[in-house]
């Protein structure tokens, strides 16, 4: 590992850490260490990083701001590449914006609204990165990423990069081709927005943000929505109707504010969350004959 670390440092890729706890990089504040943690300082650095990692046969995965992510207590084998401050560029050209995968979705939606551009109002309370939002087709308030994205610059597991048009991303509810058929991460995206009345856009942004603040437990560490909505039903409503709000296992608890959120009360382990997820699945199946599927991505050593 020392040899790889030195190569990465010599290549000037950015921040390089060994045995870094991923609890420091997830919004639920849970996760064991990764063998190697790299935060590249730009897109070229990502390519250099992948080249070195591949040369040594090390498996890797990328993360953004750590929302919608549950990392095993045993951590992650291999390398984790974080798309953060080094991949957060933004270019605005009329109604078209090009933005790095590491850019905060909340920050982006706020900035864009103040410029009188409409289309990202739904994202005003989504606490992830642009790359993660593109990967999972993040959405809220009746809209999602698929409605505004023109194309995305994708980094694949073999280190190659390619631009994918909207239709090539094969979007559906909280899903894209990047999750299964063509595993990859978004390092850059181009969005097509619409000019509108700045005051109206900002007001809608505030309304959406206030709604999320009042109905979701962002005062506790959490990973966002745990389950996909089994439409036409809603996971949160099913969980609430089943009397599960407030139920806890270890340091993990189903939020009393919103049934589809599991919060870390301060001492939660990943296993606590996994056990609580399984308990909810079994209860909803027994009471409603509905199979809930997780929206949160579960990764790491078993």
Active-site residue list: 174, 225, 295
Helix (H, G, I), strand (E, B) or coil at 95: coil
- Report the C-alpha gap between 124 and 212 in whole angstroms: 9
* Nearest Cα to Cα of residue 155 among 87, 70, 78: 87
**164 has which bridge partners?**
152
Max intra-chain CA distance, the chain: 58
Alpha-carbon dihedral of residues 102, 105, 110, 114, nearest 10 degrees? 70
Residue 286 host element (H or E): helix 270-288
Cα–Cα–Cα angle for 146, 152, 157, nearest 5°? 115
Please name the residues in contact with 35: beta carbons below 8 A apart, sequence gap of 6 or more: 1, 18, 19, 58, 75, 76, 77, 78, 79
- Please report which residue ranges of 140-263 form alpha helices under DSSP H: 198-215, 235-241
**In 149-234, beta strands by DSSP E:** 149-156, 161-165, 184-192, 194-195
Cα–Cα–Cα angle for 297, 70, 145, nearest 5°? 40
- Report the C-alpha gap between 84 and 103 in whole angstroms: 7
- Report the C-alpha gap between 84 and 123 in whole angstroms: 19
């Amino acid at each position: 590992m020392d040899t790889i670390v030195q190569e990465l440092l010599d290549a000037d890729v950015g921040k390089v850490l060994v045995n870094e706890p991923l609890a420091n990089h997830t919004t639920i504040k849970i996760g064991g260490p990764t063998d190697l943690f790299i935060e590249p300082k730009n897109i070229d650095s990502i390519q250099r990083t992948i080249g070195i990692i591949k040369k040594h046969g090390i498996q890797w995965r990328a993360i953004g701001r750590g929302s919608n992510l549950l990392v095993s207590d045993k951590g992650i084998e291999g390398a984790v590449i974080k798309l953060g401050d080094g991949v957060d560029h933004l270019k605005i050209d009329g109604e078209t914006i090009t933005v790095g995968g590491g850019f905060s979705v909340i920050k982006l939606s706020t900035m864009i609204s103040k410029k009188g551009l409409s289309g990202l109002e739904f994202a005003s309370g989504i606490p992830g990165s642009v790359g993660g939002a593109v990967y999972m087709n993040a959405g809220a308030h009746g809209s999602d990423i698929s409605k505004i994205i023109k194309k995305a610059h994708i980094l694949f597991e073999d280190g190659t990069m390619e631009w994918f048009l909207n239709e090539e991303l094969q979007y559906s509810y909280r899903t894209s081709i990047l999750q299964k058929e063509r595993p990859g991460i978004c390092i850059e995206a181009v969005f097509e927005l619409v000019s509108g009345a700045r005051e109206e856009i900002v007001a809608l942004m505030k309304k959406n943000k206030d709604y999320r603040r009042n109905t979701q437990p962002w005062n506790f560490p959490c990973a966002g929505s745990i389950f996909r909505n089994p439409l036409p039903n809603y996971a949160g409503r099913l969980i609430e109707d089943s009397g599960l709000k407030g139920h806890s296992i270890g340091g993990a608890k189903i939020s009393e504010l919103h049934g589809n959120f599991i919060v870390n009360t301060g001492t939660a382990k990943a296993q606590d969350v996994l056990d609580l997820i399984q308990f909810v699945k079994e209860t909803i199946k027994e009471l409603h004959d509905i199979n809930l599927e997780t929206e949160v991505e579960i990764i790491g050593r078993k």
